[in-house]
Structure 1
Amino acid sequence: MTTPPREAVRYLEARFACAQACGECARACALRASVAVAQGARSREALRRTGVECAEACEATCGLLSAESEVTEDGLRLQVEWCRERCLESAAILAGPPGGTETAAEGCRACARACADFLKLL
């Protein structure tokens, strides 16, 4: 049974949107992590770690979504769900303190939404 063209296009659009959101979130979180390191504050260590971990999850997910690889649907679902959960956790942490973390938190929330939208199509 073949996938109707409209569904295939919708799937590819959601996959691309998710990959793009993951890439943007990775950049925002990596920037947040580098600012925390530059400030050198111990209280910023959790923010730096959060930024690094979220950036890594998003980069891995973006890479998987962007590549033509031999990943199963279950494997793809697990990766995207892991990224979504990591982004939600990161957004909660980054949204709290002052000092420019809201931009990264919003990137995390946008990525989590894009992941959730893509998961609906799997």
Structure 2
Amino acid sequence: MTSQQEVYRFLEDRFACALACTECARACVLRASLAETEGPDDQELLRRKGIMCAEVCDATCRVLSDQGAQDEARIRGEVERCRAVCLEGAHVFDTAPRGEEVARACRACARACSDFLATLG
């Protein structure tokens, strides 16, 4: 039997993960919009990683926000995917000019995903 405290922790971690996904998506979209569309390869990489990270974070947030989504395997898969993409994004943004804030948002999202996955057990 699940205790009420475990239910609260689950909901808090789910909300924290969704919020971190939202913040990461916002930061990634903003950074991607600053990359030159016809610029050097590194600018194209930043743009692609930013857009991909934002899309994955947005999709994860939608899954976490859907009260009807109770399929644990689907939720786990989406959150694991988000964590992986955010860690990749953080690595790319670490070396980018003005990318520190985005890298921090990506790492915070990956951490929130890990915390939520631990709650799932």
The TM-score with structure 1 as length reference comes to: 0.93
How many Å apart are 1:70 and its aligned residue?
A: 3.5
How many Å apart are 1:69 and its aligned residue?
A: 2.4
Q: In the alignment, what sits opposite 1:106?
A: 104
Q: In the alignment, what sits opposite 2:87?
A: 88
Letter in 1 for 2:44: E
Q: In the alignment, what sits opposite 1:70?
A: 69
Q: In the alignment, what sits opposite 2:32?
A: 33
Q: What is the aligned-residue RMSD (CA, Å)?
A: 1.2
8 Å CA contact retained: 2:21, 2:60: yes
Q: In the alignment, what sits opposite 1:54?
A: 53
Letter in 1 for 2:107: R
d(CA) in 2 for partners of 1:47 and 1:34? 10
- 5+ residue gaps, structure 1, are none
The TM-score with structure 2 as length reference comes to: 0.93
d(CA) in 2 for partners of 1:112 and 1:37? 27
Secondary structure at the counterpart of residue 68 of structure 1: coil
Q: Deviation per CA, 1:49-105, whole angstroms, max 9, x where unpaired?
A: 0000000000000111011123410110000000000000110011012x2111111
- 5+ residue gaps, structure 2, are none
Secondary structure at the counterpart of residue 98 of structure 2: coil
d(CA) in 2 for partners of 1:54 and 1:90? 7
d(CA) in 1 for partners of 2:119 and 2:94? 29
Letter in 2 for 1:54: C
Secondary structure at the counterpart of residue 35 of structure 2: helix
Aligned length: 119
Structure 1 window deviating more from structure 2 (79-88 vs 40-49): it is 40-49
Letter in 2 for 1:110: A
% identical equivalent positions: 52
Give 4+ residue runs of structure 1 displaced > 4 Å after superposition. none
d(CA) in 1 for partners of 2:36 and 2:29? 11
